[in-house]
Amino acid sequence: MKITEARVMVTCPNRNFVLVKLLTDQDGLYGVGEGTLNGSELAVAQAIEHAAKLLIGHDPLATEDAWQLIYHWGYWRGGPIFMAALGALDLALWDIKGKVAGLPVYQLLGGRSRTGVACYGHAHGRDPQEVEDNVRRFMERGFHHVRCQLTGGIGGYGGPGMVRFEPDPDPKLPGYNYFDSTPYLRTAPKMFDHLRQKLGDEVELLHDVHEQLTPIEAAGLARELEPYHLFFLEDPLRPEDQERFGLVRAASTTPLAMGELFTSQRDCLPLFQNGWIDFIRIGPIHVGGLTEARKICVLAESFRVRSAFHGPPDIGPVGQAAAVHLDLAIPNFGIQEWTSFPEVVQSVMPGGCEFRDGFAHPSERPGLGVDIDEAAARKYPYQQAHMPLVRRADGGMHVY
């Protein structure tokens, strides 16, 4: 059995997704993968097409050898675009492997370790009462874990610290969120004080800093949130500041989560070794696929770090399915960030995971269980889009 062709698609049913089909010389046998990287979709698509040439004629079941071949072939390696491209191809190879075996991918990763994958949703609001109302809506849907954010501006993250949003005059370019840490640091603890008074301790609450704080600010926030017993505080620092995580850890026993911008096990290892985090937030499609993500989870297990895979709306049903298959198998699973996709996305990528009463369930079909409808994908061509940018209140870029 050999790989004969790679078909790369960038489609925008509601936002841009980067997809790949790897075809084999066995009639009707192919694998699907995803390498969506928000704002860099065309760059990743080109990288997939370039790297996929190495796989033509390759045995699709030799997933480890294929991974090492692509990772090492170009001398310059690593980084988000390269690893997202590698992740897309790796997922497609695992999909083929599952189809050949006649088993869902989680069975190839060690089998079922739990009956379902616990998930958390996102409850936003302009004030604590609106956040509370939205948390209750998630609880009514069966969620036991909810991330809570005050939104002070359009697209704002974190809270009223996002003092305003200004669109770019060119609608194809990103707008700017303006951030001021002082009101954010004042209002976030007040929000959690309100939520705990109204909701009690029955629901697990989470919060995402989105890497907007300095190390000393993050340490202070973690300390102030300690009485509210968060399930975790996410991304308190930027990856560039990871050597300062010791400061945040020493300030509080609030559990810490990090890693959605990581692209390899080497990014994760210092945080594991130093005991600085409790949850690793990688996205399997962004670290080179299931092959690398599984290795990161093995490393994390040795240091009693649990998984909390990145699952935003810009990772589609293929990438989501890969994460849930791995979640189901690993012993050190923690939580899965959950996104429900609109019907138009499901029409392009049918067969995704199911969500019931707070838990996700992968398909029991062989492989990842998700397909790519190429005709549907062609209906929704790529639309230029970028991530929103953050400036400080005085207009300067928010770089520290």
The 10s digit of each residue's pLDDT in 364-382 is 999 999 999 999 999 999 9
Determine if the pTM surpasses 0.85: yes
Residue 173 forms beta bridges with which residues? none
Q: Decide the pairing of beta strands 359-361 and 354-356.
A: antiparallel
pLDDT at 385: 83
Measure CA 7 to chain center: 24
Q: 125 has which bridge partners?
A: 150
pLDDT of residue 157: 60
What pLDDT sits at residue 400?
66
What residue ranges do the domains of the chain occupy? 3-103, 108-364+388-392
Helix axes 215-225, 181-199, angle to 10 degrees: 20
Note the pLDDT of residue 152. Answer: 67
Note the helical H segments in the chain. Answer: 41-52, 63-72, 80-101, 105-108, 128-140, 181-199, 215-225, 245-251, 265-273, 290-302, 317-329, 343-348, 374-378
Whether 157 is catalytic is yes
Are 146 and 121 in contact, with CB atoms under 8 Å apart?
yes
Assess whether 210 carries a catalytic annotation. Answer: yes
Distance CA 345, CA 126 (A): 28
Please pick, among 145, 210, 310, 325, the residue that the annotation labels catalytic.
210
Give residues with Cβ within 8 angstroms of 220, minimum separation 6: 185, 251
Summarised one tens digit per residue, pLDDT across range 66-77 is 999 999 988 888
Buried b / exposed e over 64-102, threshold 16 CB at 10 Å, is: eebbeebbeeeeeeeebbbbbbbbbbbbbbbbbbbbbee
Those residues whose C-beta lies under 8 Å from the C-beta of residue 42, and which sit 6 or more positions away, are: 10, 382
Identify the active-site residue in 106, 157, 176, 380.
157
Burial class from Cβ neighbours inside 10 Å (0-12, 13-18, 19+) for residue 332 reads middle
Nearest-angstrom CA–CA distance, 370 and 309: 19
Q: Under CATH, which architecture does the 3-103 domain have?
A: 2-Layer Sandwich (3.30)
For the domain 108-364+388-392, what is the CATH code? 3.20.20.120
Could you tell me what percent of the chain has a pLDDT over 70?
A: 97
Q: What is the predicted pLDDT for the residue at 154?
A: 42
Residue 253 carries which DSSP code? -
First to last CA, the chain: 52
Write 217-220 long-range contacts (CB < 8 A, 24+). Answer: 217/181, 217/185, 218/247, 218/248, 219/247, 219/248, 219/250, 219/251, 219/252, 220/185, 220/251
**Which stretches in the chain have pLDDT values below 50?**
154-156
- Residue 361, beta-bridge partner list: 354
Residues 6 or more apart from 31 whose CB is under 8 A from it? 21, 22, 60, 91, 92, 93, 94, 95, 96, 97, 99, 367
192: tokens are 């959690």
Contact 254, 230 (CB under 8 A): yes
